[in-house]
Amino acid sequence: MLDPVWLKTFLTVAETRSFTRAAQRLGLRQSTVSQHIRKLEQASTQQLFVRDTHSVELTSDGEAMLGFAGNVIDTIDRAMSYFTGTELRGRVRFGASEDFVVGPLPDILGEFRRSHPQVDLELTVALSGILHGQLRAGELDLVLCKRLTDEDAAGALWTDQLVWAGRDGIELDAAYPVPLIAYPPPSITRDHALEALRRSGRHWRIVCTSGSLNGLRAAALAGLGVVVFARSLIPPGLAELPAGHGLPDPGEVEFVLTARRSALRGPTAALSDAIQAAAERLHT
């Protein structure tokens, strides 16, 4: 039998990649954590971790165990909640790209908090490329952002057209480089804009770089240049530039909701469900 206590310890070690940090999070001695993992490996007859003095990594059997352990713990949590009437508890480290902070996302998160007041919600707002990196590093549980070009094709919430935007009435002189306002790297919309300009043979110059959506908006409102946004997420005060400006098509972008497999249970699964249910509100 696979003891749920061992499985919970296993999931925590897998998340932290450290027996020491897992012990601290669980309030156990490190020797107890080691004992739980040893018993789980004995019960499953497989080695789940490769560990030395510097690192802890999952084996292929450990990767397989992640899904089984997560399902078992999630089932137990839901059963206990059903029969005891207890509220959902825990922590969700949620990351969202800058595109959503001025839209309906705060309302959606507020509704989630009111429905689950015992869940601690930690919000990180950053560029999509940074969020994907933090998710892979185990620093976030769930992210809502643009898809990286090298990600697999499954799981998009929606696809949006990228467009050039600026203040109303802005004019561009074709004889001069395109004045570009952009996020700093790693930025997916920046990459799309630069690649489109390269393909078309248009020259450009970066007139403003800002890691803040408000910074990009302020520069565009000041008439410094033009910026690429998803069509449904153009900030207030800016408008899509008509085709007469001769700018190349920057293409499409997909928005995804991605979770670490070991974290997609309990509070994280509940927040994922809430965001998926409200997806239409996020881009209309």
155-210 per-position pLDDT tens digit: 678 899 999 999 988 888 888 999 999 999 889 999 999 999 999 999 999 999 99
Identify the structural domains of the chain with CATH numbers, from first to last. Answer: 4-84 (1.10.10.10), 90-158+254-282 (3.40.190.10), 161-252 (3.40.190.10)
How far, in Å, CA of 93 to CA of 142, rounded? 7
10-65 per-position pLDDT tens digit: 999 998 889 998 998 888 899 999 999 999 999 999 999 998 877 899 999 999 99
Give the pTM.
0.67
Q: What is the pLDDT at residue 228?
A: 96
Q: Which residue has the tokens 């670490």?
A: 260
- The alpha-carbon radius of gyration of the chain (Å, integer) is 23
- The mean of the pLDDT values for the chain is 88
Both structure tokens of 62: 């450990």
End-to-end CA distance of the chain: 49
